Amino acid sequence: MPRRDQGLAVTAWTLVQSVPPGVRGEFDTRAAELGPQLATSGLAATAAFLAAKAGPDGQVPTLAQAYRILADALARHLLHDPLANRNQLMVELGQLDATGYRRAGAAAREFAAWVRRAAEAIGGEQA
């Protein structure tokens, strides 16, 4: 049976590889900032910030695309739903009890660490 971190490594690697080349630089920067932001601001505030920066659905600038990709990936991971998005995550976070919220925060920080690692590794390969 695979370990949890093996699954996260594959998820993060797949996510980073799916980012369009024109968005990669902005995405890598946001990926590096996600863990510290979760640690200082908390999950709900970070998720709200990402959702706000992602902007409305439709055509958006490169920076907003990077935020959108990261916010939606975080939502899919935390909600265990391949169709989840940043808006659903905000609704679900408001419905969690204290224990569920702590677990979600820990899962978000773990996810952030793996996405950062994958972005650094793949970015190094492309340099």
What's the CA gap between 124 and 118, in Å, rounded? 10
Number of other residues whose CB lies within 10 A of the CB of residue 13: 17
Q: Return the pLDDT at 127.
A: 43
Q: Across the 127 residues of the chain, what is the mean pLDDT of every consecutive 10-residue run?
A: 79 96 95 97 97 86 95 97 97 97 97 97 67
Contact between residue 65 and residue 26 where contact means Cβ atoms under 8 Å apart = yes
- In 3D space, the residue among 54, 96, 58, 98 whose CA is nearest the CA of residue 79 turns out to be 96
pLDDT of residue 94: 95
Q: Contact 116/21 with Cβ under 8 angstroms? A: no
Pick among 1.10.520.30, 3.50.50.60, 1.10.579.10, 2.60.120.260: CATH of 4-12+21-126: 1.10.520.30
Question: What is residue 44's three-state secondary structure?
Answer: helix
Residue type (1 letter), 79: L
Q: In angstroms, rounded to a whole number, what is the distance separating the alpha carbons of residues 38 and 50?
A: 11
**What residue ranges do the domains of the chain occupy?**
4-12+21-126
